[in-house]
Amino acid sequence: MTVPGAGTAYRYRAHGADVCRSMAFPTPRGGGSSSLPENNRPYSSGAASRSFSPAFVSAAGGVLQQQLDVLDYLSDDGGALPAVPETFQAPPLPLPRMPPVGAAPVMPDVGYRAHPRDAAPAGDKIAFRTRSAEEVLDDGYKWRKYGKKSVKNSPNPRNYYRCSTEGCSVKKRVERDKDDVNYVVTMYEGVHNHASPGTVYYASQDPATGRFFVAGMHSLGP
């Protein structure tokens, strides 16, 4: 796919999956060159890996009622959420097992624009907004809270979690969207080095807005 005006690559990586893909979105502010390294180019330029593992699974193994706004990509510098490009098309992804009728699989992860200071290759980060009344979403992993911090320009505190599994250094930050408290902003950093729950997400497209959202998810089992 191509996105006119795309400049900044948004790199994301599925949790637990040994894959890494890149996407291109228009920059929230200003432009940018598309001169990017081989592993960090816009989506259309390379063969995409076809496997991913999931960020969320409900405790009961069912479909969560939260709605992930998969196209609301986030940056960590407080940038505003941009409009979805009209030419945006869902990336090609593998057909999931048992897809719900009318749903298409998508990556729930939205691109995380790495801050220049986060240029380290090991810094695999994803961030997304989730419409949820729950502060902490059950993603199937066990987390231990290690910090809480109020953030400038936001009335809501940011919570810091680490994966409780020994030897796993994955972290996540969770905070309420400052613009809409109905949404929870979650950012994962790192990749789990242990077994993860297998879940496939299905997305549907809102015909009114053209936006995709996660319509459901399915556990792949052990």
Partner DNA sequence: CGGTTTTGACCTGCGC
Partner DNA sequence: GCGCAGGTCAAAACCG
What are the φ/ψ torsions at residue 169 (nearest 5 degrees)?
A: -110, 20
Task: Assess 179 for contact with DNA (CB under 7 A).
Answer: no
- The neighbouring-strand residues paired with 202 are 105, 216
Q: Which segment (16-24, 36-44, 102-110, 141-149) binds DNA by CB under 7 A?
A: 141-149
For 13, half-sphere exposure in the C-beta direction (CA atoms, 13 angstrom radius) is 20
Residue 73 interacting with DNA (CB under 7 A): no
Please report whether residue 29 would count as binding DNA according to CB under 7 A. Answer: no
Residue numbers 159-178 binding DNA by CB under 7 A: 160-161, 164, 171, 173
DSSP E strand boundaries for the chain: 8-12, 21-25, 67-69, 74-75, 104-105, 112-113, 125-131, 143-150, 157-163, 171-176, 183-189, 199-205, 212-219
183 binds DNA (CB under 7 A): no
117 touches DNA (CB under 7 A): yes
Give ∠ CA 218-220-222 in degrees, rounded to 5: 140
Nearer to DNA, 25 or 161 (CB): 161
Q: How far is the CB of 90 from DNA (least distance, A)?
A: 29
Number of residues located near DNA, criterion CB under 7 A: 21
Candidate ranges 22-30, 41-49, 100-108, 139-147; the one touching DNA (CB under 7 A): 139-147
> Among 220, 173, 165, which residue's Cα sits nearest to residue 198?
220
CB of 200 to DNA, least distance (A): 27
- 174 and 184 in contact (C-beta within 8 Å)? yes
Residue 146 found at the interface with DNA (CB under 7 A): yes
Beta carbon of residue 136, minimum distance to DNA (angstroms, whole number): 8
Residue 6 has which token pair?
Answer: 């795309």
* Residue 184 beta carbon to DNA: minimum distance, rounded to whole angstroms: 15
Among 147, 179, 181, 195, indicate the residue that binds DNA (CB under 7 A): 147
Spatial CB neighbours of 57, under 8 Å, sequence gap ≥ 6: 64, 138, 139, 140, 197, 199, 217, 219
| Cβ neighbour number for residue 75 with a 10 Å cutoff | 20
Position among 29, 97, 145, 194 found at the interface with DNA (CB under 7 A)? 145
Q: Is there binding between residue 155 and DNA (CB under 7 A)? A: no
Considering only residues 18, 142, 179, 194, which one is a binding residue for DNA as defined by CB under 7 A? 142
Chain positions contacting DNA, by CB under 7 A: 76, 116-117, 142-153, 158, 160-161, 164, 171, 173
